[in-house]
A = this chain, B = another copy of it.
Amino acid sequence: MVMSKPPSDARIRARNEAKILKAAVKIFSLKGFDGTRIAEIADASGLPKANVYYYFATKEAIYETLVERLLTGWDKTLEHIVADREPREALSAYIHAKLEYSRRHVIESRFFANEMLRGGRFLSSGQKKHMQDITRERVEVIEEWIRQGKMVAVEPNHFFMMLWAATQFYADFTTVAAVTLNKSQLTRDDYDCAYETIVKTVLDGCLIAE
């Protein structure tokens, strides 16, 4: 006699797609698109492979869904950069938020890093444009601050990329960071220290005038 399970409160499709995507982003983030086997995704999500195919037609479909869905998180942190805040305060907040994102969303961060490393093959031109627009808005804020004499005349795009790189680093290259600091894992203190270092350096520079 077969017992029927109690009807799941959550929609079945939603629940299973979530399982699959959660497992997938982890493996994609570690092995990239070409290196990922769907059987592995199936195992990791606790579903038989054929069931994965019931929800997603191809490997590409899974990957594209993730790209689309994770792109949203991309701009969240940038919201701190607004013209009516003081640069010191706004930039500190951005760096903090971005580091926090790197710490708490290592996998998603790496997923994107992987995609970029491969040249953004799966980014639609629409998505690229979105990234551009988001960045341009913030670049304009920087330009405004420069005009107001609150910041030195740095090239805003490269300035942003520097901040992005410095913070993204802690998600993508945790291994390098751990090796450098001679630890097996990064703790919250390490992230705090990273924050201090980046903020202090970027805002006020590292040199002491003679």
Contact = CB atoms under 8 A, between A and B. Distances in A.
Band of interface residues on A: 35 or more
A208 B150 contact: yes
A35 interface: yes
B117 A173 contact: yes
Nearest to A120: B175
A198 interface: yes
Majority-rule SS of A interface residues: helix
A87 B207 contact: yes
Interface stretch (A2-10, A43-51, A63-71, A159-167): A159-167
A116 interface: yes
A30 B119 contact: yes
A57 to B, nearest CB: 21
A118 B31 contact: yes
Contact of A161 (B120, B177, B205): B177
How many copies of this chain does the complex contain?
2
A18 interface: no
Contact of A206 (B34, B151, B164): B151
A35 B31 contact: yes
A197 B117 contact: no
Interface string A122-165: 00000010011001000000000000011110110111111011
A160 B180 contact: yes
A115 to B, nearest CB: 9
Interface string A60-86: 000000000000000000000000000
Interface string A13-34: 0000000000000000011111
A200 B152 contact: yes
A58 interface: no
